[in-house]
Copies of this chain bind each other. A is one copy, B any other.
Amino acid sequence: MKHMKDVYGKETSATHGSYLTLRKMILSGELPPGQKLKIEQLRGLLNTGASPVREALSLLTSDMLVERIDQRGFRAAPVGKANFEEILLLRCSLEETALQASITNADALWEERIVLCHHHMKKAMKAGTANFEDTHKNFHMALLSNSKLPVLERYCSQLYDLNIRYRNLAADGPRYQERSIQTEHQNILDAALDRDAIRATVFLIDHYRKTGEYLGRQIKN
């Protein structure tokens, strides 16, 4: 395979394409935690050579989605309650910092951005389309996107994905959207638009804690 088209039809390198595919498979649980990731096997799955696969796995290592064992290959990162709770803790702490910085730098462009992302998310939720998860992440990242702290935003994005992975792994439990997530999102958005940093972060963190409490109960380890 010389070229590859990603989900949006744009051309990407074999490495980047493999990265995106594997990432999605790990986040969705299709590649379960701890699973050995053999190059040869993935090579077949992805229709590509060993080099792009190795490089994609290397990149996933930095996202903490893949573990590399020296000279012994790669495996999907293991999961556990302690890990889940650390992620929740860090998310609350880091996103609080990021959201407050974002609000401090608030401007019209950012406001429009978060309003739009919120709209797209609501629409996707109502339609029940498959890309709801993407719009949900977009909304949350948009909230932080005005912080002018790119490293922090990167960490938040990483942790968001790790959290989503746990949600997907626990997907069989009782329906999770029973809580009125829509209201919670609306509250965060309104507080952000009011430039009320305190209220916005309280809503945001509460949003995470509630989700965390729900998911935490489902994880064995």
- A residues whose Cβ falls under 8 Å from a Cβ of B: 12-13, 16, 51, 54-55, 58-59, 61-64, 70-71, 82-83, 86-87, 89-90, 93, 97, 148-152, 155, 159
Which of B62, B82, B155, B159 lies in contact with A61, CB distance below 8 A? B62
Residue of B16, B62, B87, B93 touching A59 (CB-CB under 8 A)? B62
Q: Across the two chains, which residue of chain B brings its CB closest to A82?
A: B148
Q: Are A70 and B13 in contact (CB under 8 A)?
A: yes
Provide 11 A-B residue pairs closer than 8 Å at the C-beta atoms, listed in order of the A residue.
A13-B71, A16-B70, A51-B54, A55-B55, A55-B58, A58-B59, A61-B62, A62-B63, A90-B149, A90-B152, A151-B159
Known contacts A61-B59, A62-B61; decide if A86 and B13 are in contact (CB<8 Å).
no
Q: Which residues of B contact A150 (CB under 8 A)?
A: 86
Q: Nearest chain B CB to A161's CB is how many angstroms away?
A: 13
* Alpha-carbon distance A55/B56, docked complex (angstroms): 10
CA distance A54 to B56 in the complex (A): 11
Tell me how many chains of this kind the complex includes. Answer: 2
**Cα separation A70 to B16 with both chains bound (whole Å):** 9
Q: Return chain B residues, CB-CB under 8 Å to A151.
A: 64, 83, 86-87, 90, 159
In the assembled complex, how far is the CB of residue A187 from the closest CB belonging to chain B, in whole angstroms? Answer: 25
Contact of A149 with B54 at beta-carbon distance under 8 Å, contacts A59-B61, A61-B59, A61-B62 already known: no
**A62 partner, pick from B51, B55, B62, beta carbons under 8 A:** B62
**A54-B55, A90-B152, A93-B97 given; 17 more Cβ-contact pairs under 8 Å:** A12-B70, A13-B70, A13-B71, A16-B70, A51-B54, A58-B58, A58-B59, A59-B61, A61-B62, A62-B63, A82-B148, A83-B151, A86-B151, A86-B152, A87-B151, A90-B151, A93-B93
Q: Which of A70, A82, A86, A148 has the most CB of B within 10 A?
A: A86
Question: With A and B bound together, what is the CA distance between A150 and B151 in angstroms?
Answer: 18
Taken together as a complex, chains A and B put the C-alpha atoms of A13 and B152 apart, in Å, by 32
